[in-house]
Chain A
Amino acid sequence: MLKIKNLDVYYGKLYTLKKVSLHLNKGEIVALIGSNGAGKTTLLNTISGLIKPASGIISLEGKDLTKLTPEKIVREGIAQVPEGRHVFKTLSVEENILLGAYSRYSLKTKREIKENIEKIYELFPKLKERKKQLAGTLSGGEQQMLAIGRALMSKPKLLLLDEPSMGLAPNIIKEVFSYIVDLKRVFALTVLLVEQNAKNALKISDRGYVLETGRVILEGSAEDLLMNRDVQRAYLGRDLDAEVRI
């Protein structure tokens, strides 16, 4: 459904993504893993249109996205949950969720949006309990759920999740990951999951790509990647060139 071919991205003068090619099939959870600075977030930002590539193709169900603005890309069905969650702390939980529907808000869609919120509350009952509460008073895990819930309001086909486990306690991480699997099931979503926590990410994914200094060095089923030592190294963030061969 999402197809990326030979994506070249410069960050100023820095060549950050080097001919990156990857694809997501409908209904898949695909993990994008790699150490800090490998280009994972840059890739997500390029897909969602926040960064423009120097060259390459990004297409969603055959439609070229590279020339579209971020707003239009949202309307095409891609929603991003940014790293660090970025909820509006001084707004209530429900107000935060409603903001996610901004791109499709009109009198006609009011009812549909309401139904949509209910569906999100079903998935995250904790958000319903606290819908009047200020978002800033939520725990880290709840804020992550809120950020995901907000993204779902634009009715995406593809969800881009950037480091959803960052800064969360291990048991909360587990909970968040189990919600991601639910997302795939309940909303029939396709998910591109960026994670430093490679092990957990791969456990819930179908496939994965390993990004290193802006290049894809490995692609494979999640199961295969978990067994691969390069992945273990990427996860640990060790310096590969310093390692002695044989």
Chain B
Amino acid sequence: MIWDIQKECMDREELSQLQLERLQSTIHRVYRNVPFYRRVFDKNGIDPDGFGSLEDISKIPFTTKADLRENYPYGLFAVPLREVVRIHTSSGTTGMPIVVGYTKNDLKIWTELVARVLTSGGITKDDVIQIAFNYGLFTGAFGFHYGAEKIGASVIPVSIENPKKQIKILQDYKTTALISTPSYALLIANTLIEMGINPNSLYLKFGLFGAEPWSERMRQEIEEKLKITATDNYGLSEIMGPGVAGECLQKKGLHIQEDHFYFEIIDPQTLQPVKEGEVGELVITTLTKEAFPVLRFRTGDLTRFISGECACGRTFRRIDRIMGRTDDMIIIRGLKIFPSQIEAILHEIQGRQPNYQIVLERNEGIDQITIMLEITEEIFSDMMKEQTQLISKIKERIASELGLPINIKLVEKRSFEKRGEKIKRVIDIR
């Protein structure tokens, strides 16, 4: 099913005309209404009338998270506050939150785009949707909530609850679709197993997961444990919230809502565009946002473009799953590594999604990397020998794949308590 065939299956040439028209009008509005961007344009001698092609966007300097933060709270709004009908903030895992506003039209488009993502993940009006995101300043819950209502599905706004309560609702309310972070879905799945409940006794068919990076292995694990079809979706409050991009049932990348956003992928070091298909930092420009438009926002998220047509019929380009954050990139002894690389190895050896934290320390001038690994039933055996074996196995694999000696510390179960929120993967105390 495709929610809006006319748009989502648009002719590529018509799309680029539409994108150009919208880029031009966005630039005019932003230049006129947002003092920050007016200063950026004037200081760099950029003529707002000088954008004749989409490629011309490269004339504009990037907008960074720091820029957004410095204009806290309302400095980057392009409309007077009385036009704003909703306010959210970014999750603020790092520092001051970023305040974003929505006009009536912004909310309408947001709802529409979430409806597209939900539909592409298999949701129809017949579904009963359990939303297990925190209702509050965070965009996740409200974004999905209105999109699901738009489709006509039945929405259960559970929010974050203890997993047993989620499971009771899954069972009693005959939930057919779960919306949460992937790690929270896994927590529910594992609790289900602990409680000895057969997943086949649930009505659950689909899961749409996002708001944090997850791997293909983790998808398989969730799908097997919950007996569902799980798709990935992408969004961020600074741009809009959920609905920016989403996987279709082909599960081969996330379709970008290209009629509303323009995506670029750059090398975070050189700031130049990467070669087609290479991994880099995602940069997004909004094409229709009224209250909080942003030009070339550096998301800090790492991904790559997927080339070729998708079998689902949508013509919108795809990006790969988010592979990590540029700020998660660890530079240690001159090596660049991502937590996702370590995670993949741990997952493979343990055969399940690992819970871990990476601690970086400096000892007598030498950088040390320690993985704090949560004990699972499998490792928690009295056999010291087995534990030592496991540790040395992980050490070996990481040393051979990443070329890096590491330390491993086993910690108690649920040491990194997650209540649906993002876990800080890297602690740098160097």
Contact = CB atoms under 8 A, between A and B. Distances in A.
A224 B108 contact: yes
A5 B105 contact: no
Contact of B21 (A22, A240, A246): A22
Interface stretch (A95-103, A115-123, A214-222): A214-222
A209 B24 CA distance: 12
B24 A3 contact: no
B60 to A, nearest CB: 15
Contact of A19 (B51, B74, B108, B109): B51
Contact of B25 (A216, A224, A227, A241): A216
B21 A218 contact: no
A227 B49 contact: no
Nearest to B52: A6
Contacts of B74: 246
Kindly name the residue among A3, A21, A216, A243 whose own CB sees the greatest number of chain B CB atoms within 10 A.
A21
A19 B24 contact: yes
Contact of A245 (B29, B52, B80): B80
Contacts of A6: 52
B52 A218 contact: no
Interface stretch (B12-20, B305-313, B378-386): B12-20
A58 to B, nearest CB: 13
B332 interface: no
A19 B49 CA distance: 7
A224 B29 CA distance: 16
Contact of B28 (A217, A220, A246): A217
Nearest to B75: A246
A217 B17 CA distance: 15
A19 B32 CA distance: 16
B80 A219 contact: no
Contacts of A19: 24, 49-52
B interface: dominant SS? helix
Contacts of B297: none
Interface string B98-110: 0000011100110
Given A19-B51, A215-B28, A224-B105, A229 B288 contact: no
Interface in A123-140: none
A104 interface: no
A218 B24 contact: no
A23 B32 contact: no
Given A229-B79, A246-B81, A219 B17 contact: no
A69 interface: no
Chain B interface bracket (under 10, 10 to 19, 20 to 34, 35 or more)? 20 to 34
B316 interface: no
Nearest to A218: B25
Interface in A166-225: 209-210, 212, 215-220, 224
A52 interface: no
A219 B22 contact: yes
A230 B52 CA distance: 24
Contacts of B105: 220, 224, 227-228
Interface string B143-157: 000000000000000
A215 B18 contact: no
Given A21-B17, A224-B105, A224-B108, A240 B52 contact: no
Contacts of A212: 28
Contact of B20 (A5, A18, A215, A218): A5
Contacts of B206: none
Contact of B17 (A5, A209, A210): A5
A23 B17 contact: yes
Given A220-B105, A224-B105, A228-B290, A21 B21 contact: yes
Contacts of B80: 229, 243, 245-246
B77 A246 contact: yes
B67 interface: no
B367 interface: no
B29 A217 contact: yes
A23 B21 contact: yes
8 contacts: A19-B50, A21-B21, A217-B25, A218-B29, A219-B25, A227-B104, A243-B80, A245-B80
| Closest 10 A/B residue pairs (Cβ) | A18-B49, A6-B52, A21-B21, A217-B28, A216-B25, A215-B28, A224-B105, A246-B81, A227-B104, A219-B21
Interface of A: 3, 5-6, 18-19, 21-23, 209-210, 212, 215-220, 224, 227-230, 240-241, 243, 245-246
Given A215-B25, A243-B80, A246-B80, 11 more contacts: A5-B17, A19-B24, A19-B51, A21-B20, A21-B21, A210-B25, A220-B288, A224-B105, A227-B103, A227-B108, A229-B80
